Structure 1
Amino acid sequence: AALERAGARARPVRRAGELAEVDGLVLPGGESTTMSRLLASFELLDPLRERVRSGMPALGSCAGLVLLAREVLDGRPDQHQLDGLDVVVRRNAFGRQVDSFETDLAVRGVDDGPVHAVFIRAPWVEKAGDDVEVLARVPDTPEAGAAADRIVAVRQGRVLATAFHPELTGDARVHGLFVRTVSEVA
C-alpha cells in the first residue's frame, strides 16, 4: 500500500521467475533469520544477490536492512546476507519488543519535515563504508540514551535501507524516495 501511495505498482515476489520481472524490490520488516532461511529454501538467495549486485534498486526496512548488510552482529551463524550494503548492522540493537519506540527523524532526501519513525526490535548500523550515504541518525538527546546518534537510514547506490518501519505511519515519503530510484533505472 505504501508503494502504491508513492506511485508504484506493487506485487509479491516468491519465486526467481517473479524476481526477474520486477524493476525493484522491497525487503520488509519481520524476522531476519527466518527470512534468510526462506530466501534459501525458495531458491531466491543467489538470484536476489545477483540482481542487487547488478544494480536492481532495493529497499530494506528493519529486517530488510539486516538482510542487505555485509555483516551482522548478534545474528545466527547460519544466517545469509545479501551484501547489498557495505555496513555492519547490530541485530535487535534497540532491545526487546518492550523497548520499541517512535521518534521523528530528519531524513536526507526526504522533504517537507521530519519522518515519523517506528522502531520495533530494530537494528542499527554500527559501521558504514566509505561509499554509504548516511540518511538519518537517532537524535542526540538525553532520552535517546545508548541509541543517541546511531545510524538508522542509509543509501548506497540504488540500495536504500532503514532500521525503522516507514510503511506503518501512512507517510509514503521514504517509499517515494525508493520509487524515484526505481523510476530512474526502469
Structure 2
Amino acid sequence: MKQVGVLALQGAFIEHEKMLEQLGVSCIELRNKEDLEKPYDGIILPGGESTVQGKLLKELDMFDTIKKQIEAGMPVLATCAGLILLAKDIKDQEETYFGTIPMCVKRNAYGRQLGSFFITKEVDGVGEVPMTFIRAPYVESVEDGIKVLAEVDGNIVGVEYGKQMGFAFHPELDGDLRIHQRFVDEI
C-alpha cells in the first residue's frame, strides 16, 4: 500500500491529508527528523509560508534528508509555498531552498491576501480544474526539461520536472481529487 509523507511543519497540510484519505492513500506527518526514517513513497510540500517552512526544515535538521530524497527521485507534489521550496531561483531573493526544479519563481506574485482569487483552468493531463490562489507565486521562467502543466493569464502556475509536480494554487482546498490522484499514480 502506498504511503505519502506530508510535510507538517506549517501551512495547509491537513487539507492534503484529507484529499489522500479520500483516495484511500495512507499518510504520515513529517514533523521532525525521526519521521523521515519512517517508510513513505512520496512527499507533499504544502502551501503556507515558504520562509517559515525553510527555516524550520533547517532548524529541525530535516532539510538535507528531504532534499536528497527528492534528488533521488521521490515523487513530490508541491503547492504554493511548496513550489517556492523547489525553485532553483526566487526572484528578488538570494536565499533558495531545495532548488530541485530549474525555474525562477516570483513570490506573492498576485499581491497580498487581497490579491487572492479563484478561477477554473486547464491542467495538462488532468483537465479543467478549480484553482484557488492565496498570496500565490507564479513561475517566471523555466529551463529545459520542465513541462508546463498550467498557465493563467500567460503566467506559469503548474510545472512538472521528473517526478516533481508543483502548482502555484491550492488543489487541496477545492475538493477536486484529480491532481492528487495524478500524484498518487506517479508513486
TM-score (norm 1): 0.87
1:16 to partner: Cα distance: 3.0
Q: Distance in 1 between matches of 2:90 and 2:96?
A: 10
1:6 to partner: Cα distance: 2.8
State the secondary structure of the residue aligned to 1:11. strand
In the TM superposition, structure 1's runs of 4+ consecutive aligned residues that sit over 3 Å from their partners are none
How many residue pairs end up in the alignment? Answer: 169
Q: Distance in 2 between matches of 1:49 and 1:69?
A: 12
Which runs of no fewer than 5 residues in structure 2 stay unpaired? 1-17
Q: In the alignment, what sits opposite 2:34? A: 17
1:108 to partner: Cα distance: 0.6
TM-score (norm 2): 0.87
Q: Distance in 2 between matches of 1:55 and 1:7?
A: 23
CA displacement, residues 130-167 of structure 1 (integer Å, 9 cap, x when unaligned)? 111000000xxxxxxxxx21000000010001000000
Q: In the alignment, what sits opposite 2:67? A: 49
Q: In the alignment, what sits opposite 2:81? A: 63
Identity %: 41
Which structure ranks higher in relative contact order (CA pairs < 8 Å, sequence separation ≥ 6)?
Answer: 1
Find the partner of 2:124 among 108, 114, 124.
108
Q: CA RMSD in A?
A: 1.2
Q: Distance in 2 between matches of 1:102 and 1:81?
A: 28
Q: Distance in 1 between matches of 2:110 and 2:24?
A: 32
Which runs of no fewer than 5 residues in structure 1 stay unpaired? 139-147
CA displacement, residues 35-83 of structure 1 (integer Å, 9 cap, x when unaligned)? 00000011011111100000011111000000011111144x4x44111
More strand by percentage: 2
The reply to whether residue 2 of structure 1 matches residue 19 of structure 2 is yes
Q: Distance in 2 between matches of 1:153 and 1:6?
A: 22
Select between 29-38 and 16-25 the one with higher mean Cα deviation.
Answer: 16-25
